[in-house]
Amino acid sequence: MTPDLWSALQAQRIETPSWGYGNSGTRFKTFAAPGAARTVYEKIDDAAEVQRLTGIAPSVALHIPWDEVEDYPALGAYARKQGVEIGAINPNVFQDDGYRLGSVCSPDEAMREQAIVHLLDCVAIMKQTGSRDLSLWFADGTNYAGQDDLRARKHRMRAALKRVHDALPENGRMLVEYKLFEPAFYATDLFDWGAAYAHCLKIGDKAQVLVDLGHHAQGVNIEQIVAFLLDEGRLGGFHFNARRYADDDLIVGTSNPFELFCIYAELVGAAKSTDDLTRQTAESVAYMIDQSHNIEPKVEAMLQSVLNCQEAYAKALLIDQDSLKEAQAAGDVLGAHRVLQDAYKTDVRPLLMEWRESRGLNPDPIAAHRASGYQQKVAQERGTAQGGGGYPEKKTAQPV
């Protein structure tokens, strides 16, 4: 293994989501998982377990108010003691009854103000947790043609984003997430990367686009969106997951391993770019998982996602960039494609085992987790909490 490859693997980071450790479900049913985290402290404990086993998941994203506490510096200290940091802060402006017509885009000015105040409160939390990123996802949209004025809603979104942007800490960023549809089924206010990008451009330098792999129409070439945003200096981060039909939030790389590889290939290429903006953008990308489903054991599922990201990245690092450029310049269509395929088809598992051993980690984190008794221990300590159920609470990780 070359020193470059080794140090790139060493520097890889994947943030895990607090909401992936608690009970969650579909709009039909939330199955209570034995040992699922019931509090933000237990979610942090689980994230720390993933970090201990993988060594590349050193931070956990919070969702407010699901993870609300009185004392954020104390929460940060607790996290550090467990071996992780608090990562991105995700405001929640989609669960109050008042948000029936939207949050920052609502026709009701009082609701818009309530939503903006919550976003600003989350900026204040960022300052206490030392978080760089505020991740913004809005459920805003309409269900019927004519329900609301689409241009007016766009203006309301712009005004809200601008106010929040201007309140960000000096090195803070806002990551603007888009989604094709759901829960709105006629029009979603931030419906695709272009809409998010257009807002970011007008708002300011701290506004960047967040790409969630589950938020596109079938067949959309996500790696091309990634390439475009990297080149424009506006790719802020990812929510990695897998989907087959819509926003399924399944374990990363399970149904889309080649897509995941191609995304990492774009990132690796951009990190080697001679263009400063592209390179710096690639270096600042926030890699986060947004996964939350209902039947799999939580910690093992998260481990699987992190390891799938690691494999995809390792394969992308193996791409022979010189041969690729040569084949591209020569118009060698299949030769160029085969350079990618050669890397993709390489079994990187032995190499990653070697890398883990060199860092004092168990070469097989899943087997180590299964053998550790962690799952049995938390199942015994935490029991089987009921919670969630129904779409609006899809990601409700709190027990009731």
**Which of 140, 148, 290, 393 is the binder for Mn ion (CB under 5 A)?**
290
Q: Output the CA–CA distances (angstroms, integers) from residue 326 to 46, 267, 271, 335, 346, in the order listed.
A: 46, 19, 19, 9, 21
**Which of 15, 133, 247, 393 is the binder for Mn ion (CB under 5 A)?**
247
Exposed/middle/buried for residue 188 (C-beta within 10 Å: 0-12, 13-18, 19+): buried
| Amino acid at residue number 130 | G
Question: Residue-wise over 132-150: b if at least 16 C-beta within 10 A, else e?
Answer: bbbbbbbbbbbeeeeebee
Of the candidate spans 73-81, 183-191, 236-244, 292-300, the one that interacts with Mn ion by CB under 5 A turns out to be: 236-244
- CB distance 60 to 47 below 8 Å: yes
**Which of 15, 42, 177, 393 is the binder for ligand LRH (CB under 6 A)?**
177
Is 15 a binder of Mn ion (CB under 5 A)? no
Cβ of residue 19: shortest distance to ligand LRH, in angstroms?
A: 6
Is 132 a binder of ligand LRH (CB under 6 A)? no
Q: How far is CA 327 from the centre of its chain?
A: 34
Q: What is the DSSP letter of 213?
A: T
DSSP 334-353: HHHHHHHHHHHHS--HHHHH
Cβ of residue 292: shortest distance to ligand LRH, in angstroms?
A: 7
Sequence-separated (6 or more) residues with CB below 8 Å from residue 347: none
**Which of 21, 99, 137, 138 is the binder for ligand LRH (CB under 6 A)?**
137
Cβ of residue 11: shortest distance to Mn ion, in angstroms?
A: 24
Is 140 a binder of Mn ion (CB under 5 A)? no
Is 67 a binder of ligand LRH (CB under 6 A)? no
**Which of 46, 133, 189, 212 is the binder for ligand LRH (CB under 6 A)?**
212
Would you say 189 or 311 has its CB closer to ligand LRH? 189
Question: Residue-wise over 24-56: b if at least 16 C-beta within 10 A, else e?
Answer: bbbeeebbbbebbbbbbebbbbbbbbbbbbbbb
Q: How far is CA 262 from the centre of its chain?
A: 17
| Residue 253, helix vs strand vs coil | coil
**Distance in angstroms (rounded) separating the CA atoms of residues 23 and 378:** 14
Is 43 a binder of ligand LRH (CB under 6 A)? no
**Distance in angstroms (rounded) separating the CA atoms of residues 93 and 95:** 6
Picked from Mn ion, ligand LRH, none, the partner binding residue 369 (CB below 5 to 8 A depending on kind) is none
Residues 83-122 that bind ligand LRH (CB under 6 A): 90
**Which of 38, 112, 179, 199 is the binder for ligand LRH (CB under 6 A)?**
179
**Which of 247, 266, 311, 393 is the binder for ligand LRH (CB under 6 A)?**
247
Would you say 61 or 203 has its CB closer to ligand LRH? 61
Picked from Mn ion, ligand LRH, none, the partner binding residue 356 (CB below 5 to 8 A depending on kind) is none
**Which of 15, 67, 189, 212 is the binder for Mn ion (CB under 5 A)?**
212
Would you say 181 or 228 has its CB closer to ligand LRH? 181
| Amino acid at residue number 263 | I
Residue with tokens 């309530």: 114
x/- track of binding to ligand LRH for residues 287-326 (CB under 6 A): ---x------------------------------------
Residues that bind ligand LRH (CB under 6 A): 90, 137, 177, 179, 212, 239, 247, 249, 290, 395
